Structure 1
Amino acid sequence: VDKLTKHLLNSGVRAAALHGGKSQPQRTRTLAQFKTGQVTVLVATNVAARGIHVDNLDLVVNVDPPSDHKDYLHRGGRTARAGESGSVVTLVLPSQRR
């Protein structure tokens, strides 16, 4: 997560990392920055993504596809809240194919 976030930042993308290695105040601040648009890309681990609620989230990109279908649905469920629509994109590297 940190490596991908750093790559995005170096490419000019306003990104922030969210994972269990961050303190609760850091996670709260990062999520608030994402909700206000100060951060435009939130890079999160599967564990950190659980329970996140952001209104008007229209895109989820899976970089490391979840192996469990419930996790995949949960991640995608971050979009399309309250009758809204959203998109889910999953990137699969050749080394991740089964």
Structure 2
Amino acid sequence: MNGSEGYAVFFFPQALEALGEAIKPYLAQGPGEPHVLCREIDTAGALIEMTLEGQTPEGRTVQIELMVPGQMVRMIVSARSDGAFGFGPRATPAVGTT
């Protein structure tokens, strides 16, 4: 993921403890709490399905699907770069301008 699109998935501390070493390779460290960065997410079922990009030891890019119970997820944050996201006022072009 290029850092400008996708989702950041944050877990409850108890969930991170329960998942243990299995979740650690997928966690991103940065300002704030550890989280999983993913390109796509599906919250329709009992499991939260996350699609991540990874690399093999040979350097090939692979897609990884990570699924965790929905009760483990505390918050999902959209990490989009377009300016059209949100509820604030948006500037609109004046009529007749191109």
Q: TM-score range by the shorter chain?
A: under 0.3
Which has more radius of gyration? 2
TM-score, length of structure 1 as denominator length:
0.25
Greater helix fraction, Structure 1 or Structure 2? 1
Higher relative contact order (CA closer than 8 Å, sequence separation 6+): 2
Q: Normalized per residue, which structure has more strand?
A: 2
